[in-house]
Amino acid sequence: MAESDQTFESLLDLVRRLPPTRIESNVNALCDLAPEYADDLLGNVDQPLKLLRDEEQGKDFLGCDYNRDGDSFRSPWSNTYLPESTSGPTPSPRLRQLETSLNGAFDTYREMYFEGGVSSVYLWDLEDEPEAGKEMSFAGVVLLKKTLSPSSSDPETAPLGSWDSLHVFECHERGRSAKYKLTSTVMLVLETKTLAKADGKGAEGAEGKGNVTLSGSMTRQAEVDYPLTTAAGHIPNIGRLVEDMEIKMRNLLSAVYFGKTKDVINDLRSQSGLETKSKEDLLRAELAGKLGGRK
Amino acid sequence: MAELSIEEKVKLASKFIEQTPPGEINDVINDIRTIIANDEALMPQVIPALRDYNLTQLQVVEHQASDTAPVHSSVLSHAAILPGSEEGNERYADAEGKRSFAFDHVTLAVSDYQPYELPEEEETFRAELAKSLSAYAKNHFPSGFSSVSSSQFPLLPPAPEPPVVPAPVADESTETPNPTEAESSEPIVTDVVEEQVGTGEVEPVPTPAVEGVSTKLEEVDQEGGLEKVDELVEEAKEEEEREEAGEKADGNDTPKVEEDTLEDGKEVPVSEVSKVDETIVEAPEETVAAPVQVEERKQERVENPIYTLEIVGNRYNPNNFWTGRWRTQWIVDKAAESVSGSINVDVHYYEQGNVQLATQHKASFPLPTEPNGSQSVASQIVTTISKIETNYHLELNDVYGELGDKAFRALRRALPVTRQKMDWEKVSGYSLGSDLTKARG
């Protein structure tokens, strides 16, 4: 068994190292390489959310491993699996009511923070026989996705990007409070072009063009106890939990994407040149100067 | 779904290798080995992928001191493949050490050193480029390595009779001034390269090598130029005294005369090469002899060899979960009269996540055709490269601003327009079914 665990660790280690932009094809390849770990892998590796359409409700929704049954995904709006209807799991009626409310609340949240995009919330029971009036244990996932579409006015240079967040949580009601355990992953891709215009900078006649891609994902966890007096209390509780985490992670992403990787670039290459000021160097410079002067 | 055969698995797994982030090839290989769990089947089959990775990622190879060079390194690349070396038995040029070598792409071991020597014309230009590039790399890449390769066929091994005398001289001259150049370089980009000027002035004019006479003359020129550098470095100290006594260059011995003629030669266009011939008559005989011998040999040649300038800068900090690599490849193509290059920057940050920066940038500029004042063509090329790379570096910093301020904000605001967090009680009040709302009390 130790050997098997090692295989799984190696699969996850590869996912942590290979380019995030190619995660989908890489995870498929890893599933082919180690089919016995395919389910574990798909359950442990977050992939970009699938954008799906619930034609009947006229609304978009998001798909991930948590609302998937075979090739179909359950829509939070109609509670049915699409595009092929399947008999995949659905939440108990009481949980479905909470799910519907949470979808409404996070739709507002999405509009306020993302000003576009799509959101979906899915819940599932953690008990075999959920009963009304009993303390609930359930789990769920809040999904948010926004993609920057290429601007029609400036398709050449406008940056592209996408944000996918998954907030997976477990909730256990305990008397007048509830314990929430949250694992959040944000996948962020940003892409733009470079021109390296050298006009007037001493490299006349030079042309250049390229692109820059910043991509990846970060994962963080949190655990809180919030007061809970009624079933509806889960909505502000989960809402605040997710909101606080996203604010924290947005700052973190900003620090890593725009701070850390930039620092590494400046570690790789010194823009202004490294200082060489030892006496020996000065002497050598003198010598070189004389050599140059004696031509 | 039927399970893949071991061959198919190995093939599939090999595709991960080219995606490996900087400095993590061993981690990726070890992961693949654990997953495949069949080294006998795996290892021989991943060699092509490892070779591609090493050549594309500019693997740095350390070399022990040779007869002509101190301990040094070279950059492995497609351009460093020895022209004429056979597939399957590929050899690579260590231009600085004047050797070619075999390379094991799995163990990264170097073996089977053999002499490698470019024709004088190519070696002179290559060495000039290498010297300028090395100075630029040392000044701008804290852990940078550079190499310049020529696609010209190396000279055949020396005939049993007289060994090619001036070649080792030229070798040393390309080596010895190197530290001097690099360490004396100043932080400003242009200055760095201008310092090359004193040594690398003779530009082989883009005359086809077939024109026997002019080729020979160029070689003579370069021969002298290199030797001059060499000797001057050695003589510099004693000559300082003489210079103190007020003596100037005119009152000096043979190498000085040669210098003067070279100074003229710089300005001489191709059509006037014969004039150079006259002025150079007094050049030391021993330098003239060698190129003639070279000319007599049956030697495989490409008409317009290209020169590939490569820099790789690596920083690996696994303790803090990041690695990075800056790669630069510039191709000097005299026939096309252009210099074209690519810059690739890769950064991996993997503390509780996997964030990667990947940039590709292509650029080109017209090939300088003649020395500009005191600046040689090689030096001009590297100056322009350094300017383009610095502009690119600056642009990357701007890109961060653009992505961070515009794109990131357009994806998700830091706070809603109200500048306040959500009022979840209110929101649930608005959007909830009446049952839940009432129940909340």
Interface test with B, best of A261, A281, A282 (most B CBs within 10 A): A261
Q: Does domain A92-268 correspond to CATH entry 3.90.1150.210?
A: yes
Cross-chain residue pair B236–A287, CB shorter than 8 Å = yes
Shortest CB distance from A268 goes to which of B19, B324, B414?
Answer: B324
Residues A49/A64, Cβ–Cβ less than 8 Å: yes
Report the distance separating Cα A98 and Cα A121, nearest Å: 10
CATH topology classification for B6-115:
Ribosomal protein S3 C-terminal domain (3.30.1140)
Which CATH superfamily is B307-411 part of?
F-actin capping protein, beta subunit (3.90.1150.210)
For residue A239, pLDDT beyond 90: yes
User: Can you give the pTM of this predicted structure?
Assistant: 0.75
CA-based nearest residue in chain A for residue B409: A114
Q: How far is CA A35 from the centre of its chain?
A: 25
Nearest to B404 among A29, A33, A258 (CB): A258
Any idea where the domains of chain A sit in the sequence?
A: 1-45, 92-268
CA distance B419 to chain A (A): 10
- Closest chain A CA to residue B14: A29
Q: What is the arithmetic mean of pLDDT over A222-246?
A: 93
Quick one: which of B45, B56, B79 has its CA closest to B330?
A: B79
Chain B, nearest residue to A13 by Cα = B31
- Residues of chain B found within 8 Å of residue A253, distances taken between Cβ atoms: 408
Backbone torsions φ then ψ of A226, nearest 5 degrees: -120, 145
Residues on chain B touching A209 (C-beta within 8 angstroms):
361-363
Q: How many CB pairs under 8 A join A and B?
A: 383
Q: Whole-number mean pLDDT of chain B?
A: 74
Other residues' Cβ atoms within 10 Å of the Cβ of residue A39: 11
Domains B6-115 and B307-411 share a fold: no
Chain B residues with beta carbon closer than 8 angstroms to that of A218: 352-353, 355
B439:A231 CB<8 A? yes
**What is the Cα–Cα distance from B34 to B37, expressed in whole angstroms?**
5
Q: Which residues in chain A touch residue B373, judged by CB atoms under 8 angstroms apart?
A: none
- DSSP letter assigned to residue A61: E
Tokens of A290: 């004389």
Phi, psi at residue A111, to the nearest 5°? Answer: -65, -40
CB B93 within 8 A of CB B80: yes
Residue pLDDT, tens place only, B155-180:
877 666 554 454 444 344 333 333 33
* CA distance to partner chain A, nearest, from residue B436 (Å): 5
Residues B414-439: pLDDT tens digits? 999 989 999 998 875 444 444 443 34
Predicted confidence (pLDDT) at residue A70 exceeds the cutoff of 80: yes
pLDDT of residue B320: 93
Q: What's the gap between Cα A139 and its chain centre?
A: 19
What value of ipTM does the predicted structure carry? 0.86
Quick: pLDDT tens for B230-262: 444 444 444 444 444 444 444 344 333 333 333
CA distance A66 to chain B (A): 21
Question: Distance between CA atoms of B246 and B239, rounded to whole angstroms?
Answer: 11
Domains of chain B, residue spans: 6-115, 120-296, 307-411
